[in-house]
A and B are shown apart, each in its own frame.
Chain A
Amino acid sequence: NAGVMQNPRHLVRRRGQEARLRCSPMKGHSHVYWYRQLPEEGLKFMVYLQKENIIDESGMPKERFSAEFPKEGPSILRIQQVVRGDSAAYFCASSPPSGSGTGELFFGEGSRLTVL
């Protein structure tokens, strides 16, 4: 029973390049959330998606960041023209269609982006 799968676990990019982070939710889960953890900080909400729909993107930076969760395949968080301030751990979480009842989220192990 696989949990939330994220890849790559580690990604190194130079300034100006693109970063693509992938997330496959737990089996049977249709809600996906992306959180970012900057060094020495907590997890900050970025975006909440369901299949083919962005439900809440209030935490997404206005430029360079985008997210999708297509009908088939994993959810993708895309960061264009990365800058050093994008260096962080990006966590994906999922929850079942009916919700967990408590708001409990199931997290992946994270993707650590380093921008040189």
Chain B
Amino acid sequence: DQQVKQNSPSLSVQEGRISILNCDYTNSMFDYFLWYKKYPAEGPTFLISISSIKDKNEDGRFTVFLNKSAKHLSLHIVPSQPGDSAVYFCAASLFLNTNAGKSTFGDGTTLTVKP
């Protein structure tokens, strides 16, 4: 039972255009949703997050949208740059009265931005 799903294994966009990466989840108890970026042979690095009580969070070229009724979130990157080419993981954290959030990850979407 996969609680966080990224249904598109790959996405290819032209430099300067918008990249939209999607993620669906099943557990309505998740507190935060996060996006991580991963280059080959490196660990994931945090990109942006959104609280379950918000519907949008923006940081520079990156915006995350949350639709709780649909249990869906998306990451928008605009304008896309070749350096954005990486694997993007959607994750959801559940605090359950602890200070630390255990995160559940999707399988990732490989983004390729063509010059």
Contact = CB atoms under 8 A, between A and B. Distances in A.
Contacts of A48: 100, 102
Instruction: Give the interface size class of chain A.
Output: 20 to 34
B100 A43 contact: no
B41 A33 contact: no
Contact of A95 (B49, B100, B108): B100
Nearest to A44: B105
B99 A98 contact: yes
Interface string B87-114: 0010101110011111111111000000
A14 B95 CA distance: 39
B85 interface: no
B42 interface: yes
Contact of A109 (B42, B93, B98, B107): B42
Residue of B43, B94, B106, B108 with most chain A CB atoms under a 10 A cut-off = B43
Interface string A1-33: 000100000000000000000000000000101
B32 interface: yes
A58 B104 CA distance: 12
Interface of A: 4, 31, 33, 35, 41-45, 48, 55-56, 91, 93, 95, 97-100, 102-110
Given A43-B89, A103-B34, 13 more contacts: A31-B99, A31-B100, A33-B102, A33-B103, A43-B105, A55-B100, A95-B101, A98-B99, A99-B95, A102-B101, A103-B93, A103-B95, A110-B42
